[in-house]
Structure 1
Amino acid sequence: MTEQSKRRRYSSPLRQEHAQATRQKIATAAGELMVAKGYADTTMAEVAREAGVAVQTLYSSCPGGKPSLAKLVYDITLAGDSQRLAQSDRPAIQAILDEADPVRKLTLYAAMATTILRRIKPVHRVLRAAAAASPADAGLQDLLIDIERERLAGSRGPAEHLHALGALRRGLPPGRAAEQIYVLTSTETFEKLTEVCGWSETEYEQWLAAMLAAALLEQPGRADAR
């Protein structure tokens, strides 16, 4: 192996690590500013300064401008980090897949969803408020639509998994099961129950697990199973 080839092999992981660290710094700075000041009052130049990167670097990381920046914030907040790691490879998902009991699977899923909702709630609320205040901002409106479409698509994973195991109640197609998961795990429902109704996050998590099991799983003696 030539010295040049060695340099290429070892420099690629370093570049990826640097890019990942830059994405994390940008997302952290932008998220903190947007939550504190609002979406509209957060400028790209301000984010670049807080993240310690050049404005051009910011635009290179978020080529779609501020909506793209907001999506980066949302995605990294949702995942909990900036690693380019498939959801199926993350420990929480692996634990759900490895669990044999469908009820326990949904208990683990509810715990994971509650953790994610706690992280994503402030960002999601800022973006909703900005979209409501600026209905003509097509980029922002499209961002929220994309987020909801991704949430619905992501809900198909657990639905298809339960279907493959034969755990979904009879007569419930995976697509309809995914739609119920999508609605039950919405940020708005989490906000209403924990903020308006005053539930603790533990109470929400327990409720979510029970609702998912009741809606999705075959129940002994269920009369509407056909």
Structure 2
Amino acid sequence: MTEQKKRRAYSSALRQEHAQATRRKIATAARKLMIGKGYADTTMAEVAREAGVAVQTLYTSCPGGKPALAKLVYDITLAGDARPLPQSARPEVQAIIDEPDPVRKLARYAAMATAVLRRVQPVHRVLRAAAAASPTDTGLQDVLAGIERERLMGSRGPAEHLHALGALRQGLPAARAAERIYVLTSTENFEKLTEVCAWSEAEYEEWLAAMLAAALLEHPHG
């Protein structure tokens, strides 16, 4: 690699790192304000001020306005960081893939899902409440609908993985298995069991692992 190419690569990496740091600051500020004040009462100017960035920088990072900002908050909260790395490429997912036993595989999946739900539940609740209060806010409605589509699509990965291993229940197509995963790992189920029923997260995780195994596996007890 020539010196010029090295400088360009270094400069590109620095810009990417700076952009990720900016997105993380914006998402952190917006998450704090939206959870504290609600989605409707949080303004873009307040988020920019809390994040320590110019309003124009905020709109550059979220060109779709406030709904795009809400999606940024959700996505970064879901991933746990601002890296442009899909869930399928993350170490915890690779550990699930590498686990040979389907029952233990789903136990690992339940642990990962519980950690994700712990992070996203407060954000998802705020967005649901705002969407219910403003049914004509098509931008926010589209964000929530998109989140659900992404959740269903994301459920296809583990379903197809189990199908390829021959671990799914007899007669259960991978598409239907994905739908069962999608429903069982919903934010609403997590809320009801940990808040209304006062379950601990450990109890929820154990329940989720057992329900996934019972709903999906030909041999749910190993």
Q: Check if 1:9 corresponds to 2:9.
A: yes
- Give the corresponding residue for 2:210: 210
Structural mapping, 1:1-226, within 5 Å: 4-219=4-219
- Superposition RMSD on alpha carbons, in Å? 1.3
Instruction: Tell me the alpha carbon deviations over residues 70-98 of structure 1, each in whole angstroms, 9 at most, x when there is no partner.
Output: 00000000000001112122111011001
CA distance in 1, matches of 2:175, 2:42: 38
CA distance in 1, matches of 2:186, 2:59: 31
CA distance in 2, matches of 1:170, 1:149: 26
Secondary structure in 1 matching 2:136: coil
Secondary structure in 2 matching 1:177: helix
Gaps of 5+ in 2: none
CA distance in 1, matches of 2:3, 2:209: 56
CA distance in 1, matches of 2:2, 2:150: 44
CA distance in 2, matches of 1:186, 1:175: 17
What is the number of residues matched between the two proteins? 221
CA distance in 1, matches of 2:155, 2:146: 14
Gaps of 5+ in 1: 221-226
CA distance in 2, matches of 1:108, 1:54: 42
Instruction: Tell me the alpha carbon deviations over residues 20-46 of structure 1, each in whole angstroms, 9 at most, x when there is no partner.
Output: 000100000000100000000000011
Q: Which amino acid aligns with 1:185?
A: T
> What TM-score does the superposition give when structure 1 sets the normalisation length?
0.95
Percent of aligned pairs sharing the same letter: 82
CA distance in 2, matches of 1:189, 1:120: 13
